[in-house]
Amino acid sequence: MKKEYTKIYKRIYDDTKNKDGTEKENELLGEFEIIYGDYPDYAFSLIGIKKDDNKIYNIVGDEVSGMGGRPDGGTKCSIYEIVLRQCHWC
């Protein structure tokens, strides 16, 4: 079965273009196989396996306000590696 990967960027903009019509800069955080969660709104939490290093990450999206004419409204994404540790008794 072929794995599906989702590109996760540092920002998900409401409007991806600047006022002059050029694309806003955006940093690719990686490609992930999403194993838990979805994008119900501007704020979300997902669990995914990163294609590059095969590690498990918590992918968190936080809403960024675009109210009042702010040009950068949307979502700011962060990724946090989930480290599984075995107890020393095991």
d(CA 50, CA 79): 10
Tally DSSP H helices, then E strands, for the chain. 0, 6
Find, among 29, 26, 31, the residue nearest to 11 by Cα: 26
3-state secondary structure of 61: strand
Looking at residue 75, its pLDDT comes to 92
For residue 35, the Cα-to-chain-centroid distance in whole angstroms is 13
Looking at residue 10, its pLDDT comes to 96
Looking at residue 62, its pLDDT comes to 94
Could you identify the residue written with the tokens 């119900």?
Answer: 40
Residue ranges covered by each domain of the chain:
6-81
**pTM of the full structure:** 0.83
Ordered per-residue pLDDT tens for the chain, 90 residues:
789 999 999 999 888 898 899 999 999 999 999 999 988 788 999 999 999 999 999 999 999 887 766 778 899 999 999 998 877 665
